[in-house]
Amino acid sequence: MNARGVRWPAEWERHAATWIAWPHHEPDWPGKFAPIPWVFAEIVRALAPHETVEIVCHDESVRDAARHCIAAHGVAESGYRLHVAPTDRVWMRDSAPTVVFDDGVPTLVDWDFNAWAKYDDFAHDAQLGRVVARTTGLPRRAPMRPDGAGRVILEGGGIETDGRGTIVVTEEWLLSDAQVRNAGVDRAAYEAIFARELGCGKTIWLGEGCVGDDTHGHVDDIARFVAPGVLVLAHESDPADENHRRSADNLRRLAGTTDAAGDPIRVVTLPYPRVVVMDGQRLPASYANFYIANGVVLVPTFNDANDRVALDTLAELMPDRAVVGIHAVDLVWGLGTLHCLSQQQPAAPGARTA
For residue 227, the model assigns a pLDDT of 98
- Note whether 345 and 17 are within 8 A (CB): yes
Which H helix or E strand runs over 313?
helix 306-317
Q: What is the DSSP letter of 347?
A: P
* 353 in a structural domain: no
* 257 in a structural domain: yes
Instruction: Report the alpha-carbon distance of residue 231 to residue 258 in Å, rounded.
Output: 11
Integer angstrom CA distances of residue 325 from 18, 46, 109, 141, 318:
18, 10, 30, 35, 14
* 74 in a structural domain: yes
Instruction: Report the alpha-carbon distance of residue 118 to residue 255 in Å, rounded.
Output: 34
* 305 in a structural domain: yes
For residue 46, the model assigns a pLDDT of 98
Integer angstrom CA distances of residue 204 from 171, 182, 233, 254:
10, 19, 13, 8
In total, how many domains does the chain have? Answer: 1
* 351 in a structural domain: no
Which one from 69, 200, 210, 340 is the annotated catalytic residue?
340
What pairing do the DSSP bridges indicate for beta strands 223-227 and 166-170?
Answer: unpaired
Question: What DSSP string runs through 181-216?
Answer: S-TT--HHHHHHHHHHHH---EEEEE----TT-TTS
Residues spanned by the domain of 50: 6-345
- Catalytic residue status for 340: yes
pLDDT of the chain along its 354 residues, tens only?
665 799 999 999 999 999 999 999 999 999 999 999 999 999 999 999 999 999 999 999 999 999 999 999 999 999 999 999 999 999 999 999 999 999 999 999 999 999 999 999 999 999 999 999 999 999 999 999 988 889 999 999 999 999 999 999 999 999 987 567 998 899 999 999 999 999 999 999 999 999 999 999 999 999 999 999 999 999 999 999 999 999 999 999 999 999 999 999 999 999 999 999 999 999 999 999 999 999 999 999 999 999 999 999 999 999 999 999 999 999 999 999 999 999 999 999 877 665
Integer angstrom CA distances of residue 248 from 171, 225, 243, 310, 330:
15, 18, 8, 18, 28
CATH label of the domain that carries residue 60: 3.75.10.10
* Greatest C-alpha distance within the chain: 53
Torsion angle (degrees, nearest 10) of CA 261, 296, 285, 181: -50
Phi, psi angles (nearest 5°) of residue 215: -95, 5
* 308 in a structural domain: yes
